[in-house]
Structure 1
Amino acid sequence: MQTDLLQEARRQAQICNACRYCEGYCSVFPALHRERAFGDGDLTQLANLCHNCRGCYYACQYTAPHEFDLNLPQALAELRRDSWESYAWPQPAARAFHTHGVRIALLGVLGFAVLFLLIRVLGTGAGNGFYAALSHSAMVAIFLPAFLFPLISLAISLRRYWADVGGEGLRLSHVIGAFASAAKMKDLAAGHGEGCNFEDEDRFSQARRHIHQAIMYGFLLCFASTAVGTIMHYVFGLPAPYPLWSLPKLLGLPGGVLLTLGTIAMILLKRKSDRALGDEKAWGGDMAFIALLGFVAASGLALYALGATSVMPLILALHLGSVLSFFLLTPFSKMAHGFYRLAALIREEQKKRAAP
C-alpha cells in the first residue's frame, strides 16, 4: 500500500485519538480510541470500517483552515481504495477499473453482447423462451466459470486483508453481530441515529442509508431468485421460463425494481455530494459500478416485459453481457466493498469482545 496514504491517515488518527470529540459517531471512533498506536493493519481496519458518512468532518474543529487540516473521511476513503487495489487478485485489474471504470464497463457490456448475438447466429438455441435464443448448456458453459472466478479472486483478497488486520479464528457470535450491523446499515445512521451528512453537508439525512438498503436487499432478492430457479431446474426438473406467480418471479421482480430505483437514487445522491470528502480517484469506478448494477436490473426487467417480442434476442444479449461483465468485474469494483466491510465488522466484533 502507498506509504504516503498510510502516513496521512496515521497523522489524522493520532489527532482524533487525542481529541475524542467524535466518540460515539460510528464504529470507527470506538475502534480508533481503543488504540494507543496505529500500525498499518490498524489503519486498514479503520478505513474499511468507515462508511464515509462525513459527520465527523462537519463536527470537527480542526478542519481547514486550521493548521491540522483534518479530513478524516477523505484520508480513510483513499486508504480504503488503495487497500482494495493492493489486496486484489490480479492486482492490475483493480487499479485499471478504478481509473477507467466507465470505459471498461461499457466495453465489457457491448463486447459480450456482440458475442452472445454471434453465438445466437451460430444456432445454439434449442428450447423455450430465452433458451430459444441461447441454449441452457451454452449459458452454463459461459457463466459457471464467470461465477467461480470472483469467488476465488475475493477469497484470495480477503485472506490477505484478514492477515494484515490480525484477524483471528471465526466464532458464530462474531459473524452474527457483524451481519446484524450490516443488515441495519447501523453506521449510516451514525451514533445519534439521525442519519449521515453525505449529501446535505451539516444536515442529517437518512437518504443514503435507505438507498443502500434498497440496493442491498434488491440484489439479495435477485440472487435468491436465481438460486431458486437453479434449484427448480436441477432438483425438481422445472426449467424456465416461469410464470408470474412462481417463486423466482416473486423474488426477482421486486428485487429488480428495488435495485433499479436504488442505483438511480444513488447516482443522483453521489452527484450532490462533496467529492473533496471522498476519494476522487475512485469516482469513475464507483459510478461505473453503480450504473452497471442498475443496468443489470433494468435490462432484466425489460427482458421480462418484452420477452415475447421480436426485440427479445437483443435485450437478452445486452442483459447477459451486463451480467457477465458484472461477475468478472466484481472483485475490482465497489461490489468488493461489501465483502471487505463485512470482514471489518467481524474483526471489530472480535476486538470488542476481547476488550477488558
Structure 2
Amino acid sequence: MSLDVTLQTDPGAISTDPVMEARRQIEICNACRYCEGYCAVFPAITREKVFADGDITQLANLCHNCRGCYYACQYTAPHEFALNLPRALAATRTDSWERLAWPAGLARTFQSHGSALAVALIVGAALIFIAIAALPGGGEGFYAYLGHNIMVAIFAPAFLLPLFAIAISLRRYWIEVGGSRPLLSDFRSAVVAAGQMKNLSGGQDQGCNFEDGARYTNARRYAHHAVMYGFLLCFASTSSATILHYVFDQPAPYGFFSIPKLLGIPGGLLLVVGCVAMLLLRSKADPDLGTPGHQSGEVAFIWLLGFVAFSGLALYAATGTGALGLMLALHLGAVLTFFLLMPYSKMAHGFYRFAALVREAQDKRQREIS
C-alpha cells in the first residue's frame, strides 16, 4: 500500500513535543488506515479529520501499547516518515499523567526515579512501624505489634487522600478530552472492554506483539488479567475484613477459611504471578517502543505492586513465628508506599485508561445518534 494522499503536515518535521509528534504520526496513520482493525485507537482515529490536543490525549490513553501496529507499518524508520506510533502515544500518555497530576510535579519525579523513591519510602515507613510496634498494642495477632486505632489513623488518610488526588486528575482529563456526562451504558461498555482486556487481543483475539515482534501472543493480556483480578480480589479481601470488623464485630485475625483469607490468598498469588510475568515480558520487549526515559517508574510500579502481594503472603506464612513483627513492618511499609505513590505511579494509568474507554464508548454512542 502506498500513501497517495496529501498530508497536512510535513512528514519530515519530527517534533520533540510529545503531543505535536503524536499528532504528526496520527495524521499519517489516518491517511493510510492499514491498521484500522488492530485496536480501538485506529477506528477512533478514522472518525476524525482534525485532531485537537484533547483528542491526542484521549487516543494516547486509549492505546494499550501492544505494538502490533509498529511491526505492521511500512512507514517506520528508515522511511522518511519515521513512524513509531507506540512510542509517540506512550510519550504523550505519560505526559498527560504528569501534566494532569495533582499536586503537579510529583508524577514526574516518580517516573524518573521510581525505584529509588519506592525503596526509600518502604524502608523509611517500615522503620517507623517498627518504632511504633515498641509501644504496647493491647491487642491480639497483628494488633499486638500495632494497635488498631493507630493503623486506622495512618492508613485511612493514606488511602483517601490519594483517591482525592486521582479524582482531581481525572476531572482535568475529562475536561481536556471533551467528555460530557456519561450514561450507564458508557460505563458498562468500558467495564466489559477492561474486564476482557479487549484491546490487548490484537483486534482478532490473536494477541499482540509486545514482547516479540515476529509473532502474536496473549501472554501480556494474561499477565494483565492476573494483575487486575488479583488486585480486585485483594481489595475485596480488605473490604470484607473491614465489614466483618465494624458491622459484625469480628476483628482480625481471621482463619484460613474466612472470607478475607479465601479472597486475599488467591488474590495475592495472582498479583505475584502477574507482576513477575510482566517484568519478564518487559525484559524481552523493545525499549524503543515504550516511554522514553521512564523505565525506572514503570518497572518500579510493577515490582512495588508485586512486593505488596508477596509481603502479604509472607506475613500470613510468618504468623506465630518470630519473624512476624519484621514482616508486618515491611508489608505495612509497602502498602503505605503503594497508597502514597498511587496517583503518581503507573497505577494512575488504570484510572486514565478506564476513563478513556468510557469516553470512547460515549463518543461512539453520540455519533450513532447523530
Query: What TM-score results when the alignment is normalised by the length of structure 2?
Result: 0.95
Separation (CA, whole Å) in 1 of partners of 2:258 and 2:220: 32
Query: Is 2:67 the counterpart of 1:88?
Result: no
Superposition deviation, residue 280 in structure 1 = 2.6
Kept in 2, the 8 Å contact 1:158–1:340? The answer is yes
Deviations 1:94-122, CA, capped at 9 Å, x for gaps: 0100000000000000000000001111x
The yes-or-no answer on 1:68 pairing with 2:81 is: yes
* Alpha-carbon distance in 1 for matches of 2:173, 2:366: 20
Letter in 2 for 1:333: S
Residue pair 1:93, 1:332 contacting (<8 A) in 2 also: yes
Look up the match of 2:215.
Answer: 203
Structure 1 residue 287 corresponds to structure 2 residue 299? yes
Task: Check if 1:268 corresponds to 2:257.
Answer: no
Alignment of 1:164-313 (within 5 A): 164-313=176-325
Superimposed CA distance per residue, residues 126-182 of structure 1 (whole angstroms, 9 cap, x where no aligned partner): 111000000000100000000011110000000000000000102000000000000
State the match for 2:11 in structure 1.
Answer: none
- Which structure has more helix as a fraction of its residues? 1
Provide Cα deviations, 1:254-291, integer angstroms capped at 9, x if missing partner: 00000011111111111110000011322100100111
Secondary structure of the residue that 1:355 maps to in structure 2? Answer: helix
Q: d(CA) in 2 for partners of 1:182 and 1:321?
A: 30
Task: State the Cα distance separating 1:307 from its structure 2 match.
Answer: 1.4
One-letter code of the match for 1:15?
Answer: I
User: 1: CA distance between counterparts of 2:111 and 2:361?
Assistant: 30
Q: CA deviation at 1:202?
A: 2.8
Measured after TM superposition, the shift of residue 233 of structure 1 is 0.1
In 1, Cα distance between equivalents of 2:164 and 2:294? 24
- Distance apart, 1:72 and its partner CA: 0.3
Q: Distance in 1 between matches of 2:59 and 2:136?
A: 50
Choose from 17, 30, 47 the match for 1:4: 17
**Whole-angstrom distance in 2 between the partners of 1:118 and 1:276:** 45
What secondary structure is seen at the aligned counterpart in 2 of 1:174?
A: helix
User: For residue 167 of structure 1, what is the amino acid of its counterpart?
Assistant: G
Deviation sequence 1:54-76 (CA, Å, 0-9, x none): 00000000001100000000000
Distance in 1 of aligned mates of 2:132 and 2:257? 31
Q: Distance in 1 between matches of 2:190 and 2:111?
A: 27
Query: For the aligned residues, what is the CA RMSD?
Result: 0.9
Flag structure 1 segments of 5+ consecutive residues without an equivalent. none
Q: What's the offset of the Cα at 1:3?
A: 7.5
Structure 1 residue corresponding to 2:173, chosen from 145, 150, 161: 161
The residue that corresponds to 2:57 in the other structure is 44
The separation in 2 between residues aligned to 1:178 and 1:58, in whole angstroms, is 27
Question: 1:349 & 1:7 partners in 2: Cα distance?
Answer: 25
Output the CA distance in 2 between the equivalents of 1:344 and 1:312.
Answer: 42
How far does residue 6 in structure 1 lie from its aligned partner after superposition?
A: 1.1
In the alignment, structure 1 residue 18 sits paired with structure 2 residue 37: no
Q: Look up the match of 1:104.
A: 117
Q: Does 2:335 match 1:323?
A: yes
Distance across 2 between alignment mates of 1:344 and 1:124: 48
What residue identity is the alignment partner of 1:94?
Answer: A
Check whether the contact 1:124–1:138 (CA below 8 A) recurs between aligned residues: no
Structure 1 distance, partners of 2:204, 2:57, is: 25
Q: Deviations over 1:20-51 (max 9, x none)?
A: 00011000000011000010000000000000
Pairing partner for 2:364 from 349, 352, 355: 352
| Residues 316-350 of structure 1: per-residue CA shift (max 9 Å, x gap) | 00000000000000000010000000000000001
Q: What pairs with 1:25-36 in structure 2 (closer than 5 Å)?
A: 25-36=38-49
- Matched residues in 1 for 2:300 and 2:349: separation? 14
* Residue type of the alignment partner of 2:199: D
Post-superposition Cα deviations, 1:291-331, rounded to whole Å, max 9, x if no partner, equal 11011000000000111101100000000000000000000
Q: Which deviates further from its counterpart, 262-271 or 227-236?
A: 262-271
User: Which residue of structure 2 lines up, in the alignment, with residue 338 of structure 1?
Assistant: 350
Q: Distance in 1 between matches of 2:250 and 2:125?
A: 28
| Cα distance in 2 for residues equivalent to 1:111 and 1:305 | 24
The whole-number CA distance in structure 1 between the counterparts of 2:150 and 2:126 is: 14
Letter in 1 for 2:127: V
What amino acid maps onto 1:299 in structure 2?
S
